[in-house]
Amino acid sequence: MIIAFSTLQIFSYVCVLGMPFYELLCLAKPALGRPEQVRMIQRVAERVMDHGGVLTGLTSYGEQHLAYDIRKPFQRYEKALVWQANFVVAPNVLRELNHELSVNKDVLRWASIRRSKSILPGLPG
């Protein structure tokens, strides 16, 4: 089920619950098929929403050439599937997401960043 929220509704939700905004950028193995990539993104989105969070944005950048190779044991990657998720969730859920991504063999790298609410257009910072 997909529920659309306005910027003001998200801001109100965050102010009431005190949850911060996060941005997650993930690089996955380029040989990963489309269904597997969708399942990976879906698991992250479900984890956020199951814990009372709100997914505010999701972008897939497709396969991208990397500025430098990522090396894993006996492997080297010049490309990666890149996707980004923006969400509002409690900090303990972010720890769970980081753990899930760290044990996923298809994830090459990821970074999660806490953002200020000023990244949403029309809201005070």
Question: What is the pLDDT tens value at each position of the chain, 125 positions in all?
Answer: 455 555 555 555 555 457 889 999 999 999 998 899 999 999 999 999 999 999 999 999 999 999 999 998 899 999 999 999 999 999 899 999 999 999 999 999 999 999 876 455 555 55
**Segments in the chain forming alpha helices (H):** 7-17, 34-50, 91-103
Chain centre distance of CA 53: 12
Range of the domain at 97: 19-118
The tally of domains found in the chain comes to: 1
Is the residue at 96 inside a domain? yes
Q: Does residue 74 sit within a domain?
A: yes
- Provide the token pair at 2: 């997909």
CATH for 55: 3.30.70.60
What is the per-residue pLDDT for 12?
Answer: 53
